[in-house]
Amino acid sequence: MLLKYLLPLLTLLLAGCATAPTSTIPARKVLPFVEALVTQRAVLTAMGREFMLTGYLATSATGGKRLVVTENLGSVLADVLVKSDGSTFVMRSSRALKPEWIRRFVTADLQCLFGDASGADCHATQLSPSHFVIKNRRYKLDLQIVDTKPGVQPPEMFDETLKGRP
């Protein structure tokens, strides 16, 4: 009896819908400014649960990218610095996000949207100029840019020796 309903449902899920697919974004084309402070809101769906996140991304032509991810109540979940040469420094981590997860997933998503990730590594879809969805086998990240302030960022934001102090 269950198989009678499961097979058509599985066929429908595998076939997808007839709407046109949204475009996959070219990396490095998201921000119109090389140097800026970008505020983002995101919903992370993992293991059947949703988490509301806020991201603060500082970009610099010479220093790289610094991303601080906070949860709803303001606690820092991840603080990562990606230098212009591609080297990654976990400045601060939380119990919820281990340093190796930050290096593997947070940095990959950061490079996918705002960096030098290749198309094969970047599973992002652009829904609007400021709205992106990254789908991974383990999670889905629905990210919206809510504010962009162009301008030079303080050089200490990109100094890996100042751990824990954004």
Q: Helix, strand or coil for residue 6? A: helix
15-28: average pLDDT: 46
Residue 23 pLDDT exceeds 90 = no
Q: Higher pLDDT residue, 162 or 43? A: 43
pTM: 0.79
> Dihedral, CA atoms, 101, 43, 63, 36, nearest 10 degrees?
180
Q: How far apart are CA 148 and CA 78, in angstroms?
A: 20
Alpha helices in the chain (DSSP H): 2-15, 99-101, 107-114
The pLDDT tens digits for 57-88 are: 999 988 899 999 999 888 999 999 999 888 99
